[in-house]
Amino acid sequence: MMRTVFFKKALAVAASAVLASAFLTVKADEGMWLPSLISQRIGDMQAKGFRLSAEDIYSINQASLKDAVVLFGGGCTGELISSEGLLLTNHHCGYAQIQKHSSVEHDYLKDGFWAMDRSEELPNPGLEVWFLDRMEDVTGAVLDGYEPGMTEQQRDSVVRTNSEAIAGKAEKDGTGLRADVESLYYGNQYFLFVYRVFKDVRLVGAPPSSIGKFGGDTDNWMWPRHTGDFSIFRIYADKDNNPAEYSEDNVPYIPKKYFKISLGGVSEGDFTFIYGFPGRTQEYIVSEAVRYISEISDPHKIALRTLRLDIQDRYMSASQAVRIQYSSKNAAVSNSWKKWQGEMRGIRKMNTVETKKENERLFEEWAAGSEYSGIVGRLDSLYRLMEPYAFAADYYNETARAIELTSFAAEYARRLEKAAGVSSPDEATQARESAKRLAAAFYKDYYMPIDKESFIALMDMFDRNIPSGFKPEYFTESMGRYGSAEAWADSLFGNSVFSDSSALTKTVAAACADGVGTDITLLTDDPAVEFGNEFRKWYMEGIRSVVQRLGSEITLLYRDYMKGQMEFNKDRALYPDANLTLRVAYGSVQGYSPADGTYYLPMSTIEGIMQKDNPDIFDYNIPQRLRDIYAEKDYGEWTVTDASGRLTVPVCFIATNHTSGGNSGSPVINADGDLIGINFDRVWEGTMSDIVFDPDLCRNISLDIRYVLFIIDKVAGAGHLIDEMTFTD
């Protein structure tokens, strides 16, 4: 009897599971959860092995793990690992800082950098880290004054006014606070996030790129991986431990909480948890939007970037100076280029457009006669209307805006124009100084042959792929006048005063000579400025305005569609899309099968580094020191014995945690809340996870903390940093 009842119930559960999974199923390990609501997930986390409580993860009453996690540099995550403000993030997250301190004489990218005492730690003006002080559901207060029947503009203005008031009030609660109200679930919910912002963040250490970027863009987004992708910073505070601008008198920040480090390592199946700031996902968009991404936008953007990368690579391999100048830019261009390829293939492989279409049919069936009826159709038509504009916007970003000289020139002229326009001499000086700084940074890393060739290639593509009705008149006229992109480039780069930094300095000095107003017509008439301005005007007036108008109609519909999806999937918790707010993702260490007949193990070791090592290939040329250590098996206390009894050092591992761009540098935490690694990437076959998550293929890639310690100790000889850390075992 019992048996049959149980059986029937099981069948019913199975049947409803099948039904539900036809729609939006949040499969095992998918999801980026809000820390303040983690009590809703903690049961599941504990069932999967986690041994701490929800309060340990997020608490406003006591120090919790959230107090050891920061938003680093506005786009990465970092974590505190000592009571003296020591912070760990990725090499690629600190890359811009490492690069800024580098020159041919002191090439920290190439040779690495290690501060041997605190006085050698390098300041980084402009770099900020944000600690989340608290977060709070403020939906009621944000919508206070909103009444059904208001137009979307009226609603927006209510939301904006209330949000500013709420955030403004929150910022007055203490020093260095910064508050934002963020929309979740397309405006179905609003949360206040209050951060403490620290501005004195110094570079402490970075391995050479041959370790920190080992495998380079060849291995980027790939598994098996052997990249030692970490760098170390230190947060400084004033004498009262409060945030302060850089000052020599500042002292190391004493955090409320820092991670203890576990040397226990991982095995397949172990629970892992990622705490960090994923930037952007779009898990709930309609099939039509996915089709645009995978069939149109991604392929075009990939093609445009292939052209730029080929040009950069050619000049970079010919000159070490150019390699330094373009390393950071090249990595950024290459990174999305490669991700989009994985994303496009993943979406196609998963048949996401078709699956979503089928789900949309089921949704519409369910919604018949309700307020949700017809939403999908309306979204589809709006997307179709928007497509040529979205395409033009993509092209603008990947062509005109990718040309360095013209983008710089237009921005420089804007700043000088501002200087000429303001009445207070102080403001004028400030604007002029900011233009000067912009120029200094620009020329340090500018190599015109790359830019000019890119100009030609990109303008040719623009000409070929943007329909004539959409092209800016300025573009058509210029192409007509010069006859080709080459001739146009010769004229523009040949005649622009910006092509020569000393000519620019002289021109500006002459314009400002009388000390009062500045006559900058010389600059605004410059062909580089003209190019930047004309394209910008075309984009702002003809493209962006339409994208924004249709975009806000689309967002409005998504608000209802999202609400409908949550009702349609009542028994399933749907996580809010990532929006660079703090999230928890949990899962386990797992290998995967990228193709028939192949299975990838979840861990890599130093053996793989030696297998890839090749002095003739830039990306795989490791430091001699590492070769020597390997030859002598001199791994010290970081030695582990692998399954076959061999002595080795663990390097990276993969797991099923749902992460996104922004999760780089995130702490990887074990079942006891201790640090076992640093997240830095995803596998290529799974980069569609920003749009659709496949539990079989989506894996995040982390650096094993023991490899980090091995490098610091054995390769860098910076053991004093390890002495600052706390170990659990």
Question: Which residues of this protein are in contact with ligand ASP, per CB under 6 A?
Answer: 76, 659-664, 680-682
Do 70 and 130 form a contact (C-beta atoms < 8 A)? yes
92 is catalytic: yes
Please identify, using beta-carbon distances, which residue of 496 and 687 lies nearer to ligand ARG: 687
- Whether a cis peptide bond, with omega within 30° of 0, leads into 208 is no
Which of ligand ARG, ligand ASP, none does residue 305 bind to, with CB < 5 to 8 Å depending on kind? none
CB of 295 to ligand ARG, least distance (A): 23
Q: Which residues pair with 180 in a beta bridge?
A: 193
What distance in Å separates the CA atoms of residue 351 and residue 345, rounded to the nearest whole number? Answer: 10
CA 595 vs CA 220, 569, 598: distances in Å: 19, 32, 6
Residue written as token pair 């005109």: 400
Q: How many CA atoms lie within 13 A of 60 on its CB side?
A: 11
Segment lying near ligand ARG (by CB under 6 A), choices 57-65, 129-137, 210-218, 478-486: 210-218
- Name residues contacting ligand ARG, limited to 582-621 (CB under 6 A): none
Which of ligand ARG, ligand ASP, none does residue 334 bind to, with CB < 5 to 8 Å depending on kind? ligand ARG
Token code pair at residue 121: 């730690």
Pairing of strands 86-89, 76-80: antiparallel
Find all residues with CB under 8 Å of 570, minimum gap 6, and list them: none
State the maximum Cα–Cα separation within the chain, in Å, rounded to a whole number.
100
Please identify, using beta-carbon distances, which residue of 335 and 728 lies nearer to ligand ARG: 335
Residue 216 in the binding site for ligand ARG (CB under 6 A) = yes
Residue 434 in the binding site for ligand ARG (CB under 6 A) = no
Question: x/- binding map, residues 51-90, to ligand ARG, per CB under 6 A?
Answer: ----------------------------------------
64 is catalytic: no
CB of 662 to ligand ARG, least distance (A): 9
Which of ligand ASP, ligand ARG, none does residue 217 bind to, with CB < 5 to 8 Å depending on kind? ligand ARG
Token code pair at residue 169: 């009030």
Catalytic residue among 217, 229, 298, 681: 229
Report which of 318, 299, 310 is spatially closest to residue 334, judged by C-alpha positions. 310
Which of ligand ASP, ligand ARG, none does residue 662 bind to, with CB < 5 to 8 Å depending on kind? ligand ASP
CB of 217 to ligand ARG, least distance (A): 5
Residue 335 in the binding site for ligand ARG (CB under 6 A) = yes
Do 195 and 130 form a contact (C-beta atoms < 8 A)? yes
Which of ligand ARG, ligand ASP, none does residue 376 bind to, with CB < 5 to 8 Å depending on kind? none
Which of ligand ASP, ligand ARG, none does residue 454 bind to, with CB < 5 to 8 Å depending on kind? none
- Name residues contacting ligand ARG, limited to 632-661 (CB under 6 A): 661
| One residue of 360, 398, 404, 681 binding ligand ARG per CB under 6 A | 681
Which of ligand ASP, ligand ARG, none does residue 216 bind to, with CB < 5 to 8 Å depending on kind? ligand ARG
In Å, how far from its chain's centre is CA 404?
22
229 is catalytic: yes
DSSP H or E run through 197: strand 189-198
Which of ligand ASP, ligand ARG, none does residue 576 bind to, with CB < 5 to 8 Å depending on kind? none
Residues written for the chain: 729
What distance in Å separates the CA atoms of residue 110 and residue 34, rounded to the nearest whole number? Answer: 39
Residue 312 in the binding site for ligand ARG (CB under 6 A) = no
CB of 690 to ligand ASP, least distance (A): 8
CB of 659 to ligand ASP, least distance (A): 5
Do 215 and 612 form a contact (C-beta atoms < 8 A)? yes
What distance in Å separates the CA atoms of residue 711 and residue 719, rounded to the nearest whole number? Answer: 10
For residue 116, the 8-state DSSP code is S
Report which of 335, 343, 334 is spatially closest to residue 313, judged by C-alpha positions. 334
What distance in Å separates the CA atoms of residue 24 and residue 569, rounded to the nearest whole number? Answer: 7
CB of 92 to ligand ASP, least distance (A): 6
Residue 489 in the binding site for ligand ARG (CB under 6 A) = no
Please identify, using beta-carbon distances, which residue of 89 and 670 lies nearer to ligand ARG: 89
CB of 143 to ligand ASP, least distance (A): 32
Q: For the chain, state the CA radius of gyration.
A: 27
Report which of 528, 449, 456 is spatially closest to residue 486, judged by C-alpha positions. 456
| One residue of 664, 666, 670, 679 binding ligand ARG per CB under 6 A | 664
What distance in Å separates the CA atoms of residue 474 and residue 467, rounded to the nearest whole number? Answer: 15
What are the start-end ranges of the E strands in 473-528?
none
Residue by residue, DSSP assigns 337-379 as: HHHHHHHHHHHHHHTHHHHHHHHHHHHHHHHTTSTTTTHHHHH
DSSP H or E run through 202: strand 200-206
CB of 76 to ligand ARG, least distance (A): 8
In Å, how far from its chain's centre is CA 100?
20
Please identify, using beta-carbon distances, which residue of 92 and 301 lies nearer to ligand ARG: 92
Which of ligand ARG, ligand ASP, none does residue 660 bind to, with CB < 5 to 8 Å depending on kind? ligand ASP
Which one-letter amino acid corresponds to residue 588? Answer: S
**445, burial (CB in 10 Å: exposed 0-12, middle 13-18, buried 19+):** middle
Residue 220 in the binding site for ligand ARG (CB under 6 A) = yes
Catalytic residue among 29, 56, 82, 92: 92
Which of ligand ASP, ligand ARG, none does residue 195 bind to, with CB < 5 to 8 Å depending on kind? none
Q: Residue count at the site for ligand ARG (CB under 6 A)?
A: 12
Residue 217 in the binding site for ligand ARG (CB under 6 A) = yes
Residue 342 in the binding site for ligand ARG (CB under 6 A) = no
DSSP H or E run through 97: helix 91-100
Token code pair at residue 597: 């007949």
Token code pair at residue 166: 């709420």
Please identify, using beta-carbon distances, which residue of 331 and 543 lies nearer to ligand ARG: 331
Question: CA 59, 62, 64, 67 torsion: positive or negative?
Answer: positive
Please identify, using beta-carbon distances, which residue of 588 and 660 lies nearer to ligand ARG: 660
Catalytic residue among 102, 287, 294, 664: 664
Segment lying near ligand ARG (by CB under 6 A), choices 64-72, 327-335, 558-566, 651-659: 327-335
Segment lying near ligand ARG (by CB under 6 A), choices 209-217, 380-388, 448-456, 472-480: 209-217
CB of 34 to ligand ASP, least distance (A): 19
Residue whose beta carbon is closest to ligand ASP: 664
Residue 31 in the binding site for ligand ARG (CB under 6 A) = no
Which of ligand ARG, ligand ASP, none does residue 359 bind to, with CB < 5 to 8 Å depending on kind? none
- Name residues contacting ligand ARG, limited to 221-260 (CB under 6 A): 221
Q: What is residue 135's three-state secondary structure?
A: strand
Q: Which residues are catalytic?
A: 92, 229, 664
Residues that bind ligand ARG (CB under 6 A): 92, 213, 216-217, 220-221, 331, 334-335, 661, 664, 681
